[in-house]
A = this chain, B = another copy of it.
Amino acid sequence: MGAPFKGIIEDVKGRAQCYKQDWICAICSGVSILAPTFYIFFASALPVIAFGEQLNRDTDGSLSTVETLASTAICGVIHSILGGQPLLILGVAEPTVIMYTYLYSFCKNRPEVGEKLFLAWAGWVCVWTAFILILLAIFNACTIITRFTRLAGELFGMLITVLFFQEAIKGLIGEFNTPKNEDPSSVEFQFQWRYTNGLLAIIFCFGLLVTALKSRRARTWRYGTGWLRGFVADYGVPMMVVLWTALSYGVPGKIPHNVPRRLVCPLPWDPESLYHWTVVKDMGKVPLVYIFGAILPALMIAGLYFFDHSVASQMAQQKEFNLQKPSAYHYDILLLGIMTLICGILGLPPSNGVLPQSPMHTKSLAVLRKRLIRKKVVKSAKECIKQQRTNSELYGKMEEVIVEMDTDPTDKELETLKEAVMKSDKRDGTEEKFDPEKHIDAYLPVRVNEQRMTNLLQSLLVGVSILAMSVIKRIPTSVLWGYFAYMAIDSLPGNQFWERILLLFITPSRRFKILEGSHASFVETVPFKTIASFTALQMVYFLVCFGVTWVPIGGILFPVPFFLLVPIREHLLPKLFKPSHLQELDASEYEEIVGAPHGSRMEKEQNGSDSDESSEDFYDAEILDEMTTNRGELKLRSVSSFNDRNHSFNEDRHNQVYPGGGV
């Protein structure tokens, strides 16, 4: 564990050195920084709005979209300015919503606290959570997150997925019923209009779900220009929310107002929202026993936040991104504790690092940066080739450009590029010459524009959107249920637990279909029976975890089974499965094997003649899309090899930090 404060001090020292640079880098990029800003803003704001509506229903309006947006904005601004790792995106996440729902249903039934003191008591929970988080930071607890393996992360991811589905279904069914706290005698709650509302909800919900899923995959569409496809892929989901909201205004005027139902939440200047500023006064009114009782939920929340925050941070800093600036895990947990305290006192649900937005953020900055470098390098290389320079001159020129663009390319990277350029010279005429258009991608170092501006701007945009609540309120609730279903489905690909479940439904004769395409490495290295029994075991455990969430108040202990996975993984599982198999199934990285060749011959043939600006611009974004799971985890690609079945066993893997999804 090391000496107290050791981690925090090191983190602060490391980040302080590049703090100025964090701002300068952003200013140098100019206007182009706005693209990733808006991209992350939409990716981050939409779920927060949806969670706000969920909280609103589950806490009878004590908390709503205004509070979730406010928390996200405040924590985002604080983190972007004072945070250690500015690539990390903060927001109110599903675990917070679930926890607050348990807290509320606990309070509601105790007259000593009641609905009135709910926020005050939740404030105490936040105080304790902050205390625990700060302790964890001081005692360098971040070193232990390696014990949480893929198993726990993916199981938790699956739980969130199922809860999203549950929310979508519950919401959709609710559209057919009269909501509580509403007057059932009013026109819009007459049977025929409730039924109409329900039918409209089905249409909007599935409409949003299908169009969002389609537009998400726009980058792989065959039709349309690269720019259009890229735009739809990046902004399609918010666009679809806007589209379906607009369509919802197409209902005839004869239908009663409020069919279809839209978000119900107070505006930020309504008394319900203003009450939050005085929550701190009520905190003194909470009975002492409840103040200390708040330690139990605080333990759960602190545990969840600690791991979620660290894992989101890790995923934003995967080694394939080639970040140049240091990490700050310990310091960020400290700051998270402080932010939780602030949120608790303000009566807001706290924010923490979110997935998949954090790795999405890094990815979008990597694409931006890479595109800039690539253009310059290709241009200079082409000029050299035109002037028929030698390859060493060519390399020299390319190095010059890279060094100019890049703050600090490593020697190894430059070495690889040099080798590639030189080698093409030595071979005789049958081998093709070094063609910058084709070959530069493989040797170009990945660079992320590491700065604080996108995070700050997107947090400010979230803050501004609170003022636009009157516009946000126009979104039909059914569109949000569709969005929950979208989030659920979108989180499945890349979750190896899910992929293994699907594998069980493939008949043996069809398994070649899996091997034909890209597939996770365990498919080849672990016997099918082992995969099946491991998955069945995980499924049973998952059902237990899901069952716990249904327990009325004990449900608040739902993180416990996930914490228990640490000893289970370390002591029990190695007795049931071979260590090598376990290592593959619970690998720290998403290792993917390329199946059948992807028609590379043709591709080259075409690229030579037809490649134009638009393909150049979006090509790498598409590749990055293909190379990451939907949670933002980068896949390690290796060529399929039936003969070399042990190729994916690395000695150092077992103790590596798991970057596969948070708890």
Contact = CB atoms under 8 A, between A and B. Distances in A.
Interface of A: 191-193, 195-196, 199-200, 202-203, 206, 222-226, 252, 254-255, 502, 505-516, 595-599, 601-603, 605-607, 610-612, 614-615, 640, 642
B614 A515 contact: no
- How often does this chain occur in the complex, in copies? 2
A505 B606 contact: no
A34 to B, nearest CB: 25
Contact of A195 (B255, B507, B510, B597): B255
A515 B610 CA distance: 13
A159 to B, nearest CB: 23
B191 A254 contact: yes
A615 B508 CA distance: 9
Given A226-B509, A516-B599, 15 more contacts: A195-B252, A199-B203, A206-B206, A222-B506, A222-B514, A223-B506, A224-B505, A226-B510, A508-B610, A509-B607, A509-B612, A509-B615, A511-B610, A512-B606, A516-B602
A595 B516 CA distance: 15
A561 B185 CA distance: 62
B596 A515 contact: no
A497 B605 CA distance: 26
Contacts of A603: 512, 516
Contacts of A222: 502, 506, 510, 513-514
Contacts of A252: 191, 195
Contact of A599 (B193, B505, B595, B602): B595
B502 A223 contact: yes
B255 A512 contact: no
A224 B202 CA distance: 28
Nearest to A599: B596
Contacts of A224: 505, 507
A507 B606 contact: no
Most buried by B among A193, A202, A512: A512
A612 B610 CA distance: 45
A223 B505 CA distance: 5
B598 A596 contact: yes
Nearest to A193: B192
Contact of A597 (B506, B514, B597, B640): B597
B203 A192 contact: no
Given A223-B502, A597-B596, A611 B509 contact: yes
* A-B pairs with lowest CB-CB distance, top 4: A596-B599, A512-B606, A509-B615, A199-B199
Contact of A515 (B502, B506, B595, B602): B602
A322 B601 CA distance: 36
A508 B255 CA distance: 49
Contacts of A226: 507, 509-510
A606 B200 CA distance: 48
A195 B195 contact: no
Contacts of A642: 605
A510 B196 contact: no
Contacts of A611: 509
Contacts of A202: 203
A597 B598 CA distance: 8
A343 to B, nearest CB: 42
A614 B191 contact: no
Nearest to A514: B222
Most buried by B among A223, A505, A507, A605: A507
Contacts of A509: 226, 606-607, 610-612, 614-615
